Amino acid sequence: MTEPIEPVRVDVVSDVVCPWCFIGKKRLEQAIALNPDIPVEVHYHPYFLNDWIPAAGISREQYLTTKFGSPERYKEIAQRVSAAAAQDGLVYAIDKLSRQPNTTDCHRLIHWAEKIGKAPEMKQRLMELYFSEGADLSDKAVLVRGAEEIGLDADEIAKKLATDDDLALLSQRVEQAKSAGIQGVPFFIFGNAYAVSGAQPPEQLAGAIRRVAEEQKAKAAG
């Protein structure tokens, strides 16, 4: 009788408004598909790319001016990232983005979705709302609708967003990531042993998955 294969744990530290995290999530999914015989368990962890943005968010123009000097200075970067996203079948609709949100509530939604095994779907929907549809993720009505679309209870989510539920927990997790030396996202940790920074090609991520799987198999064989 064949022994069951222990899943490879992948921890992903990222933010929903980070374009390379949007691309990195897709590349991780492609990497998992390259290893169909290896079970993988993905866990998402919060990171605040822009922790200085107020809860209500700010205009995209103000954000780009503060971070890059002017919206014009970001155009070349944006076009390069948009092209990279398109290569992976994603839509980064630069011209649709008008608000830069605070992502605290987004991370709360992902955390709550994880409890019913839907963190990947919640993260994906939030990223699509932001990058592809230009939605304002600081708007609680947008968040409630997105949560409902992936199977969460709209009334329950609306009530929870009006509370401080899990705010302290998320802040603690973000600080843990920073204390661990994570300064850029996406950041992938494979099997609590190997770290990969950035939206690396699927083949590289797939190689890390295989390496952990082989080590786990060797350890199990004793």
Give the mean pLDDT of the chain.
Answer: 96
State which residues form the domain around 92: 8-221
Collapsing DSSP to helix, strand or coil, 99 comes out as strand
Report, as an integer, the average pLDDT of 43-50. 96
Query: What percent of the chain stands above pLDDT 90?
Result: 96
Q: Is residue 1 part of a domain?
A: no
Q: Is residue 3 part of a domain?
A: no
How large a percentage of the chain has pLDDT more than 70?
98
- Residue 59: the pLDDT is 97
Residue 94 has pLDDT above 80, yes or no: yes
DSSP label at 180?
T
85, pLDDT greater than 70 = yes
**Which residues contact residue 57 at a Cβ distance below 8 angstroms, ignoring those fewer than 6 apart?**
99, 100, 101, 102, 136, 137, 138
Q: Is residue 2 part of a domain?
A: no
- Coil, helix or strand for 90? coil
Please report, in angstroms and rounded to a whole number, the separation of the first and last CA atoms in the chain. Answer: 17
Alpha carbon of residue 24 to chain centroid: 8
Res. 222 pLDDT band, cuts 50 70 90:
confident
C-alpha torsion 32→35→36→42, nearest 10: -30
- Mean pLDDT for 70-96 is 95
Domain annotation covers residue 104:
yes
Query: Does residue 45 lie within any of the structural domains?
Result: yes
From residue 65, give the alpha-carbon distance in Å to each of 97, 134, 154, 189: 14, 19, 35, 33
Query: How many domains does the structure of the chain reveal?
Result: 1
Taking the C-alpha atoms of residue 152 and residue 24, their distance in angstroms, rounded to an integer, is 25
* Mean pLDDT, range 9-27, rounded to an integer: 98
Say what the pLDDT of residue 1 is: 37
Written as six digits, the tokens of 208 are: 């890390």
Name the band, by pLDDT with cuts 50, 70 and 90, for residue 3.
Answer: low
Per-residue pLDDT tens for 104-159? 999 999 999 999 999 999 999 999 999 999 999 999 999 999 999 999 999 999 99
Q: Name the DSSP class of 8.
A: E
Q: Residue 2 pLDDT > 80, yes or no?
A: no
List the CATH number of the domain containing 140. 3.40.30.10
Q: What is the pLDDT of residues 151-192, one digit of tens each?
A: 999 999 999 999 999 999 999 999 999 999 999 999 999 999
Q: For residue 206, what are its two tokens?
A: 């797939």
